[in-house]
A and B are shown apart, each in its own frame.
Chain A
Amino acid sequence: MTRYVIRRLLWAVVLFLAVTLVTFVIFYLIPVDPARQAAGKAATPAQIQEVAHRLYLDRPIWQQYLHFLDELVHGNLGYSYANRQSVNETIKQAAPVTASLVIGAAILWLAMAVPIGVYSALRPRTKGDRAAMGFVLAGISVHPVWLGLVASYLLAFVPTQGSFLGIHFPSFTLFPIQGYCNLKGAAPGEPCGGPVQWAYHLVLPWFVLAIGYAAFYVRLVRSSTMEVLNEDYVRTARAKGVPASQVLRSHVLRNAMLPVVTAFGMDIALALAGAVLIEFVFGLPGLGYVAVHSLYQFDYPVTLGVVVFASIIVIVANLVVDLLYAWIDPRIRLS
């Protein structure tokens, strides 16, 4: 097991270096001069050159990359070109937002997918199964941006209007249209805070991010469970008179969850990317928003910082999944 872990860790370091190098080179190749952006549009070439020197942009790319790695080793991701804020601070502030979104959505999609998937597998081709498959089709087909906009319009805006399609009703507030509240409490200038407000503001984003994944996982759980149900050891357990609930819990689910756990590790990483769209729709100041906004501004240190941070998360998530997988199925580590 130790060798396995060391091997995985070494691969993680190589992967991390590769990601940062590729990202760095891509930004270097874009024919936009960040120094000019930082200096202002009326700056003279001499002034732009001065800024370039200050920002370390007048060195060869390999020196810039080594400088970046050197700073990284010392825990410094650099400073934004656009507002000179520490990238560490920016990420520190944005990461909890994205984590709140992704973890909450992941719990929600598993909470939806596992029971529905198992139910469908146990009762294939029933009305309930067909309804579940209908949900799967809709969930996979609908785009999260569309769903987010429609959900916030219908569930957050319309109730406050007191009428919809000519039908009148007392206006009320069901969900906030957008925004984020800190879990710990409201910071100065922020309108809300605390666990209740935090969850209340995230219900719609969680639902919108989770729905597509939930649909996919229903299918995954269903097919995996059906496959395990047909295994000899399940038949044997039943023949031995093991109660159905115990067969399901100890024999079916434990084995059916292997592909789900694998996919879950990957999808947490994918959900980070999906979170970009949700954060934009619901105005959440998370990593996705920060990354996209920095791209618009050619604010490379911030983009690179988010990429580095996301890479670490994805690599760690995969590492955890690998270890979890090895724990669930000891044959993995032996191979």
Chain B
Amino acid sequence: MKRRGVWVALTAVVAGSALLFSAGCGSSGSSSSGGGGASAGAIPAHQNGGTIKVALSGNVDYMDPALAYYQSTWQILYSTCVKLTNYKDVTGDAGRVIYPEAASAMPDISSDGLTYTYTVPPGRFKFNTGEPVTAQSFQHALERDLNPNQASYFGSVFLAPVIKGASDFKGKPGEHVSGIQVQGDKLTVTLVKPDAGLLSKLTTPFACAVSKDMPVDDKGVHTPPMAGPYYIASYSPNRSIVLKKNPNWTDAAGFKRPAYLDEIDYTALTENTDQGTLQIKNGELDYSPDALSPAQFFQLNKEYGPNGTSGGDQRFFITPAAAVSYLALNTARPAFSNPLVRQAVNYAIDRPAIAQASGYGATTPAEKYLPPQIAGSQQEQVVYPVDSVDLNKAKSLMQQAGVTTPITAVLYTCNQAPCPDRAAIIQQNLKAIGINVQIKEFDRGVQFGKEGTKGEPFDIGDEGWIADYYDAYDFLNILLDGSHIPATNGNDFSYINDPQLNASLDHANTLTGDARNQAYGDIATKLKQPGGLAPWAPRGFPNNIDFFSSRVGCQVNQGSYGMALNTFCIKSGS
């Protein structure tokens, strides 16, 4: 979920949220200290029903599951969708385990890994219109993603390369994708090559059950019928969204997915962040995940965080997003062609200082390639210093590398705060090991495009990546498999192309379960260990920020999707 439109999303990650800084929030506390996940176990006395008011600061794209790609709309779709398999409304690692939802069990996967068969008992779930959810609901959903007339670019990026017949599908009336077949209550998905990430892909909104009558419309359907706890009753771009409780909602999968509120009204979609903070403080609004003033984060955490001075329940939450921020070290250029120099950079950068430059709560310093939400992260070992620098080690690696210092390295970064501040710290850090950093600032969109162009003269890219779906493939294979680096629009910003690494990544993607997690964890660890390729210097995990009014309770910070709207309630006496 933690991916959105390219520039919006990556600007947020890379800039550590430019807004975070604009507020001059470089407060002193550790940016990781604010944590605290709302847990499903602490449900306060509450009333059923009622309406809460939510505000967003402009990041809304589509309500149509085939098109939605922004974080805020995936948050909505998490609470309105029923999928074949899904996550439960629980926090932490347990919230990252995939369970059958509309399917009666996890799919039967053929021994060659090419056929996934789901059994979907009809009518277990119903859309708000009363229509039962059947295997056809998912067939239609996936075919909408693949239908050229729907132009679901994001969905087709994930699904088209692996589903059999997808590339031949023209979307004519009555036509079906040969690799998506329904017989009775069985839905069979046939692949052209094994893709163990398919399970994760099918837990995204692209696989949300849709009504059999849902039209193919490349502009997107504003109020699609929904079978989840809530449905989208109305959507007016730039104005409002209304979610209402699905009258036909039953927790048929036994997920214990609640739907306490009658209505969730997004009353403002163009909220100013300073004003949004004030409005939640005084109760005019009940919740916002983004219309919040970064300048206030330190104070808000102090007053309303896990041990807030204002007393009462926690209202302000800082939790890691499924994203990673890193320095891409361009292996195709002389400055970082030697892996020992790249290793040295990893020991020389001051991750807490860099995180602090991004503002309070923006980033949790880290040295891992995989965010904690991604399976495999637990298996990835910590190698580099997280809380400090190890200059001696860094200098020693530079000596071993045998390079002549000073080395000149060109750093590409964005021109919005806090990127320049962060670049200044990196420049200072690397000077200590004989690397003179020249900083070049660009608009974030321009930076992204330049770094993705082969031959662009940069040595370090201050980069970030938000998960498209919760699988290590979306990080490691997408960003580090160098076997097909395009001339433009590439994502392998370190331009690493190591046959052994490529083969390991390909192999890991054929595995499932623990073996898969271990394989990806091992790959990431190996990149960092002595002798490793070290194509990046990971520097942290960006955080999600959520703030609630005093009357909202029952929040569950879902392990994968963040705050689950359907879990919110109004506390008794509010």
Contacts and interface: CB of A to CB of B under 8 A. Distances in A.
A45 to B, nearest CB: 4
Interface SS of chain B: mixed
A36 B279 contact: no
Interface string A140-174: 00000000010011001100110000000000000
B275 A177 contact: yes
Contacts of B271: 178, 283
Interface residues of A, number: 57
Contact of A42 (B67, B151, B468): B468
B278 A188 contact: no
Interface string A38-57: 11111111011001001000
A36 B5 CA distance: 10
Contacts of B266: 189
Contact of A152 (B53, B239, B275): B275
A281 interface: yes
A191 B234 contact: no
A282 to B, nearest CB: 7
B8 A190 contact: no
Interface in B10-32: 10
A45 B58 contact: no
Nearest to A49: B489
B445 A298 contact: yes
B337 interface: no
Interface string A291-315: 0010011100000000000000000
A93 B58 CA distance: 15
A64 B271 CA distance: 34
A54 B270 CA distance: 29
B569 interface: no
A38 B60 CA distance: 14
Contacts of B284: 160, 176-177
A7 to B, nearest CB: 39
Interface string B262-281: 00011111111011101101
A290 B445 CA distance: 19
B255 interface: no
Given A31-B449, A43-B157, A297-B5, A187 B240 contact: yes
B57 to A, nearest CB: 8
Contact of B6 (A37, A54, A296): A37
Interface of B: 3, 5-10, 53, 55, 58, 60-62, 67, 69, 151, 153-154, 156-158, 218-220, 233-234, 236-242, 265-272, 274-276, 278-279, 281-282, 284, 443, 445-446, 449-450, 465, 468, 474, 478, 486-489, 491
Interface of A: 30-33, 36-45, 47-48, 51, 54, 79, 82-86, 89-90, 93-94, 149, 152-153, 156-157, 160-161, 176-179, 187-191, 279-285, 289-290, 293, 296-298
11 contacts: A40-B468, A42-B478, A48-B489, A86-B219, A152-B275, A157-B278, A177-B275, A177-B284, A178-B272, A189-B240, A293-B270
